[in-house]
Amino acid sequence: MGDRGRIGVGLGIFLVVAAYPVWSALAAPGPSGRPELERSVDASGCVEDTAFMKASHSQLLNGWRTAVVRDGRRMWTSSTGREWEMSLTGTCMRCHANSEAFCTRCHDYAGVQPGCWSCHVVPEGEGTS
């Protein structure tokens, strides 16, 4: 039992190292190190509210993809009753015109790499590198 102290210290060091991604992000400058995202150029509102989009935009886009590609539907009614064309480049990117300062910045921070732009063409005006 004489090693208890040393084991405790070792475990402590291990936890600090293992939690590096968490505390380094929290310690980074800015509000808990979160990326500054470029605002939509159109203030009239997104297809759904911000909280929903933040949490579920990928599911929403997957649903749009299935509806457009497989079922041949193009129009979508939001929960507020407004009609939208289901189009990543036509609808989303019309407001979030700079994919680099919106999609990429947050995806990089979150460590996810969706493959959208390996096929879809970023509309004219702004673009990724």
Partner 1 sequence: MKESRRAFLKELGGGTLALGFGLPLLDAGPWNSASGAVLPEVALPADPAVSAATQWGLVVDVEKCLQDEVRRAVMDACHREHNVPRIPDPEERVDWIWSEPLEHVFPDEVHAHTPPGVRGAPVLVLCNHCTNPPCVRVCPTAATWKREQDGIVMMDMHRCIGCRYCMAACPYGARSFNWREPRDWVQTDANGKPVSDYPTRSRGVVEKCTFCAERLRVGLPPACVEAANNVPGGEGALTFGDLTDQDSNVSRTLRERITFARRVSLGTGPNVYYILPQSIPTAAAVETV
The site for partner 1 (CB under 8 A) is made up of 1, 48, 51-52, 54-56, 59-60, 63, 65, 67, 69-79, 89, 110, 115, 118-124, 127
Q: Give the helix, strand, coil percentages of the chain, each rounded to 5.
A: 55, 5, 40
Smallest separation (angstroms) from partner 1 to the CB of 127: 7
Smallest separation (angstroms) from partner 1 to the CB of 90: 9
Q: Considering beta carbons, is residue 39 or 74 the nearer one to partner 1?
A: 74
**DSSP output for 32-61:** GG---PPPPS-TT--SS-HHHHHHHHHHHH
Q: Considering beta carbons, is residue 17 or 51 the nearer one to partner 1?
A: 51
- Cα(59)–Cα(57) distance, rounded to whole angstroms? 5
Check if the beta carbon of residue 73 is closer than 8 Å to that of residue 66: no
Smallest separation (angstroms) from partner 1 to the CB of 38: 19
